[in-house]
Amino acid sequence: MWTLFHKFGSPPWLYRLSGAILRWLLPITLLALVAGAVWGLLFTPPDFRQGNSYRIIYIHVPAAVVALAGYYVMAIAGAVSLIWRMKMADIAMRACAPIGAALTFVALVTGSIWGKPTWGTWWVWDARITSMLILFFLYLGVVALYEAYENKALAAKACAVLSLVGTVNIPIIYKSVDWWYSLHQPASIKFTGGSTIDPSMLYPLLFMISAFYCLFVCALLLNMRVEILEREQRTAWVRALATERGGS
């Protein structure tokens, strides 16, 4: 267990491992995303109330789910970085923020596009959309804080503290927004009633959610590889790699 833990702290080992994982995970992920999209777009029946516009669910919900999970991944990496002072946890945390922000952005934009045919307006202060918007702000806050620090080792620690504070706060924010929405809005335009979804619509959704999780892992590893190289650029193994790969 501890040897594995220490191995994760070793940049060249992680760099090679991530390369090996990406070699097969990246094609599988892309294939799964395409397959899931085709399944959702072409092989599921339309919703009896919303017609075909509900097909946006196959990207909206997975993006939202993974964006939220990504915040917790970031916070866990932050906690590891603060407690064990592991350099690789810093790097993982740093890599999470832009990916999470991108996925939150997708969830917001697709939610907004979905809102137009459903509610007749591009933006509704619906509890979920509002919560997503706040999550987007939280991610951007981490990115902004990281960029503001000149010393990147300290930047990572500061972001770790911020993301841990966010972890405590996110459930509170979500519950508050939920409650706020139910107070101000009669529950008439509630949709995607969670458990009542038909299996023929649910399976492609679950499939897409797993594909988005794989996408998150791929993007995380890709971003971490760049950060590893930039931080370790004075070490012998990166220089050897650069002469070998970038020499031509």
Partner 1 sequence: MYFESLSAVLQMDGHGTFVWSAYFITLGVIVSMIYVPRRREKRFLRQLGGQIRRSEGSNPPSARKEV
Partner 2 sequence: MKPASTAAFCFRLLRRQLVLGLRRPVELGNPLLFFAMVVALFPLGLGPAPDTLASFAPGILWIVALLSNLLTSDAVFRSDLEDGSLEQLLLAPQPLYLAALSYVFAQWLLTGFLLGLASPVFALMLGLAPAAIPALAASLLLGTAVLSLVGGIGAALTVGLKRGGMLISLLILPFYMPVLIFGSGAVQAALNGNPTGPFLAILAAFLCLSIALAPMAIAAGLRISIDT
Partner 3 sequence: MVNDSAPVAVVLSASELGLERGGRELFSGINLQLTRGQLVQIEGPNGAGKTSLLRILAGLSRYGFTGQVERHVPQLFLGHQSAVKGLLTPRENLAWHVAGESSFTAAAIDAALAAVELYGYEDVPSHALSAGQHRRVNLARLYLSQAPLWLLDEPFTAIDRGGVVALEARMLAHLEQGGTVLLTSHQPVAVAYPLLRLDLTTGQLQ
| Site residues, partner 3 (CB under 8 A) | 85, 151, 153-154, 157, 233-234
| Least distance from partner 1 to the Cβ atom of residue 4, Å | 25
Q: Is 53 among the residues that bind partner 1 (CB under 8 A)?
A: yes
Q: What is d(CA 151, CA 238) in angstroms, rounded to the nearest whole number?
A: 21
Instruction: Indicate the residue among 143 and 222 with the shorter CB distance to partner 2.
Output: 143
Identity of the residue, 39 or 149, whose beta carbon is nearer to partner 2 in the bound complex:
149
Q: Which does 85 bind (CB under 5 to 8 A by kind): partner 1, partner 3, partner 2, none?
A: partner 3
Identify the residue among 87, 128, 157, 225 touching partner 1 (CB under 8 A): 225
Return the ∠ at Cα 72 (arms to 69 and 74), rounded to 5°.
Answer: 110
Instruction: Burial-class residue 24 by CB neighbours within 10 Å (0-12, 13-18, 19+).
Output: exposed
Residues 6+ apart with CB under 8 A from 218: 22, 25, 26, 29
Instruction: Name which of 147, 8, 13, 144 is nearest 86 in CA terms.
Output: 8
CB atoms within 10 A of CB 230: 11
* Cβ closest to partner 3, residue 23 vs residue 234: 234
Contact criterion met (CB below 8 Å) for 221 and 21:
yes
In contact, 201 and 2? CB cutoff 8 Å = no
CA-CA distance, 117 to 226, in Å (whole number)? 41
- Which residue ranges make up the site for partner 1 (CB under 8 A)? 26, 30, 33, 37, 41-46, 51-53, 55-56, 59-60, 63, 99, 102-103, 105-106, 109-110, 113-114, 116-117, 215, 218-219, 222-223, 225-226, 229-230, 233, 238-239, 241-243, 245-247
- Which residue ranges make up the site for partner 2 (CB under 8 A)? 82, 134, 137-138, 140-141, 144-145, 148-149, 151, 154, 157-158, 161-162, 164-166, 168-169, 172-173, 175-177, 179-180, 183
